[in-house]
Amino acid sequence: MVTLLTTEHYNLQTRRAATIGEANGRASIFLGAVSAGLIAIGFHGTSSGRAPGTVLFDVLVLSCLSFLGGVTFLRCVELAIDDWQYYLGITALRQRYVTLAPELAELVASEAGAEQSATMLTPGRQVFQMTLTVAGSIGVITGVLAGADAGVLAYGLHAAFGPAVGVGAAVGLLVTVTCDRFQRARWSGAIRA
């Protein structure tokens, strides 16, 4: 029995490591692409101003970065939930170890219940708790990119600077709030399941 439990514990821990590694890899690729894209926009736009080619280039780069941010966000939400479920499995195994061998109670890390492990959804937590996750921070950056994309497009279509900034801010806020709500809904669904 103990061999079976330790094998399952090892498998769950390996899966957790894989989710963490994939989330970190995706976030790194996304942030690297954002850095490269913004540098390209900076070099391309230093002398061109509002020329159609410059606007088109900026919109293409920002649209691609927004797409990459969106898919990275979605995958990181999935990975975080998977990681949490693996954590719950490990917690259950630890409790079983103590049941089978009570003398291990001092050696096995005690864990709070499953309802406490999703601290992001605890009512007393701060409003912006979701932005502190990898997925949440990617969602915010994606919102900024989408807002910048919309603002550049509006400005390129000959909107005045002020209204173009307003369009960009509105789109950015909409995308950021949508990401936050999506992540909360996915976590709530995972906790209920």
| pLDDT for 161 | 92
| pLDDT for 177 | 95
Q: What is the pLDDT of residues 41-60, one digit of tens each?
A: 998 876 666 788 889 999 99
Mean pLDDT score, 71-91: 94
pLDDT over 60 (residue 34): yes
Within the chain, residue ranges assigned H as helices are 2-45, 52-100, 134-156, 161-192
Worst-scoring range by mean pLDDT, 4-8, 27-31, 124-128?
124-128
pLDDT over 50 (residue 115): no
Q: Comparing C-alpha atoms, which of 124, 171, 142, 152 is closest to residue 51?
A: 152
| pLDDT for 75 | 98
- What letter represents residue 170's amino acid? A
Top-confidence residue, 123 or 5: 5
